[in-house]
Amino acid sequence: MTNTEIIQSIATEVRLRLEGEGSGHDWWHILRVWNMAKHLCEIENADSFVVELAALLHDVADWKFHNGDETAGPRIARDMLNGQHVKDSIINHVCEIIATISFKGAGIPTPMSTLEGKVVQDADRLDAIGAIGIARAFAYGGSKGRSLYDPNTKPTQHQTKEAYFNSGSATINHFYEKLLLLKDRMNTRTAKALAQQRHEFIINFLDQFFREWEGKV
């Protein structure tokens, strides 16, 4: 099979696995990340085969839906790529990206060791901010039964991944615990520029949210 055929086959399988998922980690999230990753890849001159495979597979088995098991995603991705007879070196690269891509708390660095990893991480993080990021945050919060906002519970800057993984606070807290931090954690120059406008959109949303919450609008 050609690289293009492998990518299309993986895309079809991922779509079948995730289509209809309701927490904001669905096929459409994958498609947006895939498209953004291809855009960044072209500008940054990264390996497109690795980037596209990692973008497609980065959420195939997210730890949030597998009882915190961080090995589920790389393991399932490896099985899928082996099924397509992808070279071991490519599989190892893609699985490393999947294993290290996720945000793990405000105090936990998550550096990517390769350009391809940086590109896919940026694409994923861009989809977590801006208008779509806001929508996804509330979709995920709703799927976990979390309240919109609780004035009595303040955001926490988690210093361990365990604390972050086990957090169940209101969705608005998530903006301060993760989303507002992503602008400064982008890797590529292109992503940094795109993140600025999306970050400002979140700031404006929060300002409006609290004005309405306090009955000022």
Q: How far apart are CA 42 and CA 1, in angstroms?
A: 23
Q: What pLDDT was estimated at residue 24?
A: 82
Q: Which domains are assigned to the chain?
A: 3-213 (1.10.3210.50)
Ranges under pLDDT 50 in the chain: none
**Three-state DSSP string of 168-216:** CCCHHHHHHHCHHHCHHHCCCHHHHHHHHHHHHHHHHHHHHHHHHHCCC
Amino acid 144 reads: K
DSSP 65: G
CB under 8 A, 24+ apart: contacts of 4-10: 6/53, 6/84, 6/86, 7/49, 7/52, 7/53, 7/56, 9/84, 10/53, 10/56, 10/57, 10/80, 10/81, 10/84
The gap from C-alpha 85 to its chain's centroid, in whole angstroms, comes to 27
Q: How far apart are CA 92 and CA 130, in angstroms?
A: 32
Q: Are the CB atoms for 189 and 136 separated by under 8 Å?
A: no
- pLDDT tens digits, 75-103: 999 999 999 999 999 999 999 999 999 88
